[in-house]
């Protein structure tokens, strides 16, 4: 009979404790390895930023005025995105977001958030910090933010047509912003990074720009006009100190460029500008030696060309000298001067002044003029007083400057000389008229403002020696000119003894006002508007 087995040996308490500790350490080790593996695998935001189609942005240089005052700059802004796979309740997320972003498309939002096959989708880019904080405070899983570069325009709509606008990715699509992309260059970035380039310095003066815009808006309201445009430029360099089109354009709202009423009237539109064209006609006659300021023109009767009859608004009833044709704005006198010169010379002179071509500036295209298909006697006569040929106001202002600055052609520019964005180039010294002709023209302009019978007398401002010319052009509607629908314009220069600045103002379809005695002609609306602009802007000009 065998002896009984000894009892099994029990582990000591110390050994049991050690085994438990080893198991715990092993568990933590496994967990740590898993965490490291998950991190290196690229889950979450790191993976999204690399493998998902994140939109690039672009860092842009600042835009400043001629004195260095800020017009446009880049700022960091939060952009909202979602990972639909992490959204717990699509309806809750959509409703709470819509309460903060009331303009968001809720149907599209729900569809986007419900698509769990997508791991990244932009919901709103370029949010204000206040809105971003409200969304953050919702605490909704699956929503997050990225910092991006966003264009900011601290002056609002000021100079909006000139500045242009950018896309959601900060690419320039119009105006100076597009010029920057095409000429200066922008830097492609991910996230938010300021541009290293020097600011683009414009020729604009924001004080002068504000005065111009403010007076144009006031004039549009006072005369119940459909719109307005204005330009102030240096007659010797072509630098534009201010240019405005009413209704205004907000550069922060690119969609406004699609509104027909907001089309830039200064550069991108063309108009029959009326009797301010008599400056061109008389300049041509004087420079050709076909007439002097004292040459007498018979304007006693209307001028008939075939079935067309050309009349004066206020017939003089007697022959007029060339200087009187200008100051009394005689259509018949201007037409006779142009017919004496001939169609070929008229066209050649207009072409020399740049009025038969379009072009472009840093702010965009200059519209091609609408030229008569047939240029016979009738067209020669009507173009002489600003009908039948439609040009951009900017082109006309530059042509006026070329005539009054001593006779040297200038090209308009929106970038200040010396800025890297405007590389030095050969200055056009092409002479368009003699210095003698230029001097006579400035004298005529001044007389038209100072004489009691001058059409520009309401443009006078004490201390500025203003010279100018009115233009009231009937607008063609359905192929017929309407006497009650006009384009009222006034072109001015100062000081007239040595022209430094040219100012052009245009009012689209102004209506009678209490202070116009029932009139809609330029002498009653555009001329006093120019006077108010010069009184405000003059002290700010160099």
pLDDT tens per residue across all 542 residues of the chain: 445 555 545 555 566 676 666 667 666 666 665 655 555 554 333 333 333 445 568 889 999 999 999 999 999 888 899 999 999 999 999 999 999 999 999 899 999 999 988 899 989 988 888 999 999 999 999 999 988 888 999 999 999 999 999 998 899 999 999 999 999 998 887 766 666 789 999 999 999 999 999 999 999 999 999 999 999 999 999 999 999 999 999 999 988 988 989 999 999 999 999 999 999 999 999 999 999 999 999 999 999 998 889 999 889 999 999 999 999 999 999 999 999 999 999 999 999 999 999 999 999 999 999 999 999 999 999 999 999 999 999 999 999 999 999 999 999 999 998 888 887 655 557 999 999 999 999 999 999 999 998 999 999 999 999 999 999 999 988 777 888 899 999 999 999 999 999 999 999 999 999 999 999 999 999 999 999 999 999 999 99
The full DSSP string for 49-94 is: HHHS-PPPEEE---EE-TT--EEEEEEEEEEEEE-GGG-S-HHHHH
Distance, in Å, from the CA atom of 96 to the CA atom of 87, rounded to the nearest integer, reads 13
Contact 321, 295 (CB under 8 A): yes
Contact 461, 505 (CB under 8 A): no
HSE-CB of 473 using CA atoms within 13 angstroms: 29
Residue that has been written with the tokens 């206020």 in this structure: 314
- The rounded radius of gyration (Å) of the Cα atoms in the chain is 35
Distance, in Å, from the CA atom of 424 to the CA atom of 254, rounded to the nearest integer, reads 32
Q: Please name which of 253, 251, 267 lies closest in space to residue 178, comparing C-alpha atoms.
A: 251
Distance, in Å, from the CA atom of 98 to the CA atom of 476, rounded to the nearest integer, reads 48
Domain 206-540 carries which CATH code? 3.40.710.10
**Strand duo 63-64 + 200-201: pairing:** parallel
Element (H, E) at 25: helix 13-41
Every domain of the chain and the residues it spans? 206-540
**In the numeric block, which tokens belong to residue 390?**
């439609």
Q: Which of 79, 203, 275, 329 is catalytic?
A: 275
- 275 given a catalytic annotation: yes
Q: How many CB atoms lie within 10 A of CB 413?
A: 20
Q: How many CB atoms lie within 10 A of CB 69?
A: 13
Distance, in Å, from the CA atom of 234 to the CA atom of 500, rounded to the nearest integer, reads 6
Between helices 435-450 and 393-404, what is the axis angle to 10°? 110
Which of 417-441 are b and which e, b meaning 16 or more Cβ less than 10 Å from the residue's Cβ? eebebbeeeeeeeeebbeeebbbbb
């Amino acid at each position: 009979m065998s002896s009984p087995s000894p009892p099994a040996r029990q582990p000591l308490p110390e050994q049991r404790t050690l085994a438990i500790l080893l198991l715990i350490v092993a568990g933590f080790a496994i967990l740590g390895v898993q965490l490291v593996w998950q991190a290196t695998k690229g889950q979450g935001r790191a993976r999204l930023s690399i493998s998902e189609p994140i939109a690039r942005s672009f860092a842009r240089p600042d835009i400043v005025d001629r004195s260095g005052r800020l017009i446009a700059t880049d700022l960091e802004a939060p952009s909202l995105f979602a990972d639909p796979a992490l959204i717990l309740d699509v309806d809750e997320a959509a409703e709470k977001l819509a309460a903060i972003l009331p303009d968001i498309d809720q149907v599209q939002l729900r569809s986007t958030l419900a698509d769990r096959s997508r791991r990244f989708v932009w919901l709103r880019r370029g949010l204000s910090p206040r809105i971003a904080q409200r969304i953050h405070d919702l605490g909704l899983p699956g929503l997050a933010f990225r910092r991006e570069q966003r264009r900011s325009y601290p002056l609002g709509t000021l100079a909006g047509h000139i500045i242009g606008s950018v896309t959601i990715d900060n690419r320039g699509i119009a105006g100076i912003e597009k010029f920057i992309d095409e000429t200066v260059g922008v830097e492609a970035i991910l996230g938010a990074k300021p541009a290293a380039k020097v600011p683009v310095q414009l020729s604009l003066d924001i004080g002068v720009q504000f005065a111009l815009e403010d007076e144009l808006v006031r004039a549009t309201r006072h005369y119940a006009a459909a719109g307005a445009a204005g330009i102030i430029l240096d007659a010797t360099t072509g630098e534009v100190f201010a240019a405005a089109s009413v209704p205004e354009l907000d550069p922060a709202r690119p969609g406004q460029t699609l509104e027909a009423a907001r089309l830039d009237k200064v550069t991108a539109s063309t108009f029959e500008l009326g009797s301010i064209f008599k400056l061109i006609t008389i300049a041509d006659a004087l420079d050709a030696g076909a007439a002097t300021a004292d040459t007498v023109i018979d304007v006693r009767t209307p001028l008939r060309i075939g079935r067309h009859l050309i009349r004066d608004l206020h017939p003089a009833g007697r022959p007029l000298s060339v200087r009187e044709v200008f100051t009394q704005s005689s259509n018949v006198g201007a037409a006779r001067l142009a017919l004496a010169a001939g169609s070929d010379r008229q066209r050649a002179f207009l072409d020399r002044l740049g009025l038969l071509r379009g072009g472009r500036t840093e702010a965009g295209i200059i519209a091609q003029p609408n030229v008569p298909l047939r240029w016979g006697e009738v067209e020669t006569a009507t173009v002489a007083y600003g009908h039948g040929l439609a040009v951009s106001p900017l082109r006309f202002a530059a042509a006026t400057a070329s005539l009054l600055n001593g006779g040297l052609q200038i090209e308009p520019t929106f970038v200040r000389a010396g800025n890297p964005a405007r590389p030095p180039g050969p200055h056009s010294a092409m002479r368009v008229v003699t210095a003698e002709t230029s001097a006579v023209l400035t004298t005529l302009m001044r007389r038209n403002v100072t004489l009691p019978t001058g059409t520009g007398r309401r443009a006078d401002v004490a201390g500025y020696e203003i010279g100018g010319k009115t233009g009231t052009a009937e607008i063609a509607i359905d192929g017929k000119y309407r006497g009650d629908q006009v384009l009222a314009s006034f072109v001015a220069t100062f000081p007239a003894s040595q022209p430094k600045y040219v100012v052009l103002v245009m009012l689209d379809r102004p209506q009678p006002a209490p202070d116009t005695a029932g009139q809609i002609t330029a002498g009653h609306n555009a001329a006093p508007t120019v006077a108010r602009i010069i009184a405000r802007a003059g002290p700010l000009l160099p």
